[in-house]
Amino acid sequence: MSENAELDDNALIERVVQADDRSAFEALVRRHLGLIRRQLAVCLWSHPEVVDEAEQEVLWQLYRTLKKFRKESRFTTFLFGLCRHTAFNVARSHQRSRQREQRWFLQEAPDRESRETREDPSRELLEKQEKDRLWVILGQLPEPERSLLYLKEAEGAEIKDLAKAFSLPEGTVKSKLARTRTKFRTLWEGQDEI
């Protein structure tokens, strides 16, 4: 297991595809699970109650389709596309059967700063308000612009990776990002504090 932790993504993928090495797959999943969860949370903004279901579906699809991964692009690009397509399918399925109760997503937003490093309760409250405000505004953006902005700004995705994941030309990704940033900024400046 510790040996797998030291391998890069391509080496782990090779072990999974060639030898059906489950520990290599588990190491790959552990390494990217946070990214998967964040991407699904953003894509399924209006359906937060199905994020867990989508996560399980992504992991199943990842295991089944890993042999289709072409190494000329980064693994995260493959993962972005898989998350996006799975989220779309799960959301469409969920819209047909609204049997589950909704959970409030903002309570499960990713927390960038650990609780141990926080000393000042008033600072923590201000940070939470700012974070809540950011997520509310992000939620007002349409798909796929919301995902593009999130992946670029929060995950640091490259333009070329976004272009591949969203099946768009790089120039289109850049212009969508510019328009989305402007829209986000307008919403940010126009919204009163939560």
Q: Which residue has the tokens 């974070």?
A: 131
Domain annotation for the chain: domains and CATH numbers:
120-194 (1.10.10.10)
Q: Which residue has the tokens 């080496």?
A: 11
All residues at 6 or more sequence positions from 141 whose CB lies less than 8 Å from its CB, including other chains: 149, 180, 183, 184, 187
Taking the CA of residue 43 as centre, how many other CA atoms within 13 Å lie in the half-sphere pointing to its CB? Answer: 27
Amino acid at site 157: A
Q: What is the pTM of this model?
A: 0.57
Closest by CA to 143, choosing from 49, 55, 44, is 44
- How far CA 61 is from CA of 14, 42, 160, 165, in Å, comes to 17, 19, 23, 16
In this predicted model, what pLDDT tens digit does every residue of 104-155 receive, in sequence order?
A: 333 344 444 444 444 567 777 777 788 888 888 888 898 888 888 888 888 8
